Structure 1
């Protein structure tokens, strides 16, 4: 019997799930050694993003055994760190993906069996509601079962600490080590006396959004899609709570559906994902088109082009929305202690906006967990964003949610657009005004997908050792190795190439897929017409993208 077959038999002996037991038994009976190696030759690694992977049997998949081990490891860490062990409160939430509710119930059972106090969300709800609940309920930790915008076959396990933000090193390593120390899950003590929260937790979250800078303008038409996720009901309640007209909702994508039948990939950034919402926006005469990803922590925004919309709607980039939200928040808040934060791969525009408003600006590593850690004593974080459609918006009393919040962001974007509409302007004219003040900051991405995760490091090393002298017709003036730590940030894998004329390229490995992600930015002064600057920026980005793709070609 091979090592993998022995491991599979041991797995079968402890697996409480008849579906994955049947799956694994079929693999064993078929003698499919390749499938066994795929499931048992590696394991899902617990990191700052928790766990995320394909559903199925074995340690390299998301399943009940993997989740119960994660819950037991987290419980062991909590008993060391909790403010009041052994009854440390933990809030557990879940989305509507395949297996999410079962994984949440298993987490509650394992943690209760470990002597912790568990509060379970009442139904599938957005991730920002869970993040809010951790702080609101004074919990020591939170668990959200979600794979966000991953494909239908995936699920995940995201961990929050007492500050309501996702965990950062070295805590992830401690939890991972504790998970590795967990024995067979059929030997874990299981409890059943957890508390199921009521709808008052959602109402409390909605009340917290009233702290956002929502202004007084309310005349606005919005088309909305939750992309088959859990955002719809909470967003509609939030709009009603704030006094905005109810958005028109894409009927085909309104209900939670873990198969995401109308999209190839349930991510609003992916080609085609927004087609139904954009079509509805045109037919409904909407000023805005808004989408949440399936767990509603991200927010995508489209705007009508022209007064009568003859050209149809246009999607804004995450950096464009980030720049607009930053100025809106800073116009509607006060105080020299205000702090705005974005990640190292996002546009450099936010730094110029902060300087113009006389507030502090900070950069963080990629990921909202790092944005939330950028606050220093004396700072008041009022806005943070990442280019991947993640925004955390606050008011004069800070942030309601210490994570990206697609519901709160949707409200503030709507308020901003309503205010502009009342003044006879649109978000597009606000973008043009911003470009005139600060220069046109245009960004784009390039992904280099590889056959295997092991190839990513080699390609990055090749770029590190053989740095190009120019890209896109621009001289490479400096190369910063992010693994050495730059700008006071912790070391991380990646390179930053600073180009002539204020352009910039950052190359880093994806945290979840076998690919390199490249973030491009060019800055073009607006000398006359903004449209001319946009055309020049578009051409410059295309030249950068083409030459960088050739440089990074794995062939």
Structure 2
């Protein structure tokens, strides 16, 4: 397209934009004659990715704004049809409440029923509400752990899980057919859900998980300026745990996330305040939620006595996933299924075999994990996402940072009663199954074409060795592998029980590489788990260095 085309599209956009802020923003771009900025906003549009719509706030189809949201709501309404019921939730990000109200107005104007959360509550509460209320769909306005300038729009179906093909494609096509949003009929007769309508039933469900009876535990916690604080604290107290001590500077929702560069527990520095608090209070464990509380991060003391005087370390998502998997399987019976994604640790398969359970691998994204099959009692992905269940099934068919935090607290309290820690439980797993160590190489780019070219280079010339290990097999996941749907990714299996998966992020401008090595654990007089961990760090660092050179980014 030419700059003239973008100018025409921008003027058409201005004519229907109900938001004075984005109108002023776009008028300024036009007045400056900024062709590059116009192209960034109008040369593409936001598409459904691994977590629905997500992008930077601003005017234009390639940004999150009221027009984009109203078009998404109109497309959803066309796919569902009149009379259907949609539950809508929102977090504390900029414009989340506005986008939720716009969604309700469009849906009710199209003849659907809408129920809107009466507060800024976590994503898992919305996912729970869809099934609890028997709704036909749900919408959560959130960008999870993205930077402050972003927002997003997650769509759930009647099963309480995120949408998957072909539904996402049908909604996308319906969105494309929507005309001007200023011509859409708007309603105002939606229901506002109160705390007792939906949050209390959610708390009843997650506190009914198998949490044992050990409750002596001190917890340092941060919601990272998000919406998880109140609900997590209430869940802990309802379950009988002491209320966690919360990092004061991060306790209240704040869409600008002033104390962190990125509001993601995995990012460097994001956990500093919580870790400092843990040292000050001598906490038994550290817990964190991301801003919409669908993820849970866990920190453990470095000292062997369980106190925090020696500092703390954050567990990886795979370490927490392995602990939770074993806990759930030890507290459930019958024909059970556990599932994780192809980029997560292979340890889950070994744990499932040990407990006589079935194990499934899915594509990346929790929407796929929740579709793994019948009998699902636990699902996780390495990016700190977990859904914990019981013999009654899963209370939430999506990532649930509150339910996961409760279960981690139960594990830690039971271990403390026995004079042990979560770190001791990890060592037990390593001795039984070998040390499964994982790491990531993540490259953020400003130009997405760099990622496209890097993936093309890898497909044209796959590596023969990485860190001195022969590449024994290379799978192009875009062709569909082992019954999985096609996805843009590459998987390499290396000699000596190692694996690398490379894929573009579905939610951020990143190329993400997932590394795993399995190191046998020798006898204690040979160093045992400690020696295996040191060896794993060396192996992962060597693979990461070689892979970075291979990527050329």
Same fold (TM > 0.5): yes
Between the aligned partners of 2:463 and 2:38, the Cα distance in structure 1 is: 43
Between the aligned partners of 2:479 and 2:39, the Cα distance in structure 1 is: 35
Cα pair 2:77 2:112 within 8 Å, conserved: yes
Between the aligned partners of 2:444 and 2:396, the Cα distance in structure 1 is: 34
SS at match of 1:211: coil
In structure 2, the partner of 1:365 is: 363
The alignment of Structure 1 onto Structure 2 pairs a total of residues equal to: 544
Between the aligned partners of 1:423 and 1:255, the Cα distance in structure 2 is: 35
SS at match of 1:192: coil
The correspondence of residues 196-215 of structure 1 with structure 2, limited to 5 A, is 196-200=192-196, 201-215=198-212
1:88 aligns with 2:84: yes
1:194 aligns with 2:190: yes
In structure 1, the partner of 2:461 is: 466
1:338 aligns with 2:340: no
In structure 2, the partner of 1:165 is: 161
The one of 254, 257, 272 aligned to 2:254: 257
In structure 1, the partner of 2:45 is: 43
The one of 83, 88, 100 aligned to 2:96: 100
1:287 aligns with 2:284: yes
User: Shift of residue 309 of structure 1?
Assistant: 2.9
The one of 518, 525, 543 aligned to 1:523: 518
Cα pair 1:48 1:167 within 8 Å, conserved: no
The one of 486, 491, 514 aligned to 1:491: 486
User: Shift of residue 451 of structure 1?
Assistant: 4.1
Between the aligned partners of 2:536 and 2:381, the Cα distance in structure 1 is: 21
Between the aligned partners of 1:34 and 1:477, the Cα distance in structure 2 is: 45
Cα pair 2:142 2:153 within 8 Å, conserved: yes
Cα pair 1:302 1:314 within 8 Å, conserved: yes
User: Shift of residue 447 of structure 1?
Assistant: 1.6
1:402 aligns with 2:400: no
Cα pair 2:106 2:185 within 8 Å, conserved: yes
Between the aligned partners of 2:317 and 2:177, the Cα distance in structure 1 is: 41
Between the aligned partners of 2:121 and 2:542, the Cα distance in structure 1 is: 43
Structure 1: which 5+ runs fail to align?
80-85
In structure 2, the partner of 1:13 is: 15
1:351 aligns with 2:349: yes
Between the aligned partners of 1:533 and 1:450, the Cα distance in structure 2 is: 34
Cα pair 1:100 1:146 within 8 Å, conserved: yes
Range with bigger deviation, 425-434 or 474-483? 474-483
Cα pair 2:50 2:506 within 8 Å, conserved: no
Structure 2: which 5+ runs fail to align?
none
Between the aligned partners of 1:487 and 1:36, the Cα distance in structure 2 is: 42
TM-score by length of 1: 0.97
User: Shift of residue 469 of structure 1?
Assistant: 1.9
In structure 1, the partner of 2:326 is: 327
In structure 1, the partner of 2:264 is: 267
The one of 450, 459, 466 aligned to 1:455: 450
SS at match of 2:496: helix
The one of 471, 494, 498 aligned to 1:503: 498
Once the two structures are superposed, residues 11-34 of structure 1 have per-residue CA deviations (whole angstroms, 9 ceiling, x without a partner) of 111111111111112222222222
User: Shift of residue 455 of structure 1?
Assistant: 2.5
1:126 aligns with 2:128: no
Once the two structures are superposed, residues 225-246 of structure 1 have per-residue CA deviations (whole angstroms, 9 ceiling, x without a partner) of 0000000000011011100000
TM-score by length of 2: 0.97
Cα pair 1:301 1:321 within 8 Å, conserved: yes
Cα pair 1:380 1:398 within 8 Å, conserved: yes
Cα pair 1:48 1:166 within 8 Å, conserved: no
SS at match of 1:300: strand
Once the two structures are superposed, residues 229-280 of structure 1 have per-residue CA deviations (whole angstroms, 9 ceiling, x without a partner) of 0000000110111000000000000000000000010000000000000000
1:477 aligns with 2:472: yes
Once the two structures are superposed, residues 311-336 of structure 1 have per-residue CA deviations (whole angstroms, 9 ceiling, x without a partner) of 2011000000000011111111111x
SS at match of 1:123: coil
Between the aligned partners of 1:35 and 1:416, the Cα distance in structure 2 is: 51
SS at match of 1:535: helix
Between the aligned partners of 1:514 and 1:309, the Cα distance in structure 2 is: 36
1:143 aligns with 2:139: yes
Cα pair 2:471 2:494 within 8 Å, conserved: yes
User: Shift of residue 46 of structure 1?
Assistant: 3.0
User: Shift of residue 48 of structure 1?
Assistant: 4.9
In structure 2, the partner of 1:304 is: 301
